[in-house]
Amino acid sequence: MKKNTYYTEIVSELQELHALHPSLSFGQHIASLSYEYGDLWGISDKELAFALCKYRTTLEIDSPHKESDIQDIIKEGMSLDTILEQEEEEY
């Protein structure tokens, strides 16, 4: 059985980043990491694996949302009082 190392986690994260964001190049991902973490020369494999995971999560959160999703969020936000009142009644 092959042991999962931080090196293989890094490669896996890069493959997932490519699959999720094919329009971004490898260089763009690395440039974004170096912008946030500074000089990557002394970074350990463990730190790099964590940084890539955090970076991927940030990209997922910052990705554009469909207009219908935004409208649903606004609609739910406008009826927040009603939702909270219903939750209070349940308790």
2: alpha, beta or left, given left = phi > 0 and alpha = psi -120 to 50? beta
pLDDT tens by residue, 16-50? 999 988 988 999 999 988 888 888 898 999 999 99
What average pLDDT does the structure give for the chain? Answer: 84
Higher local confidence (pLDDT), 80 or 58: 58
Q: Which two tokens stand for residue 1?
A: 């059985």
Tell me the C-alpha to C-alpha distance, in Å, between residue 63 and each of 20, 66, 75: 11, 10, 21
* Domain coordinates in residue numbering, the chain: 6-64
- pLDDT above 80: residue 3: no
Average pLDDT in the 9-17 region?
93
pLDDT at 11: 94
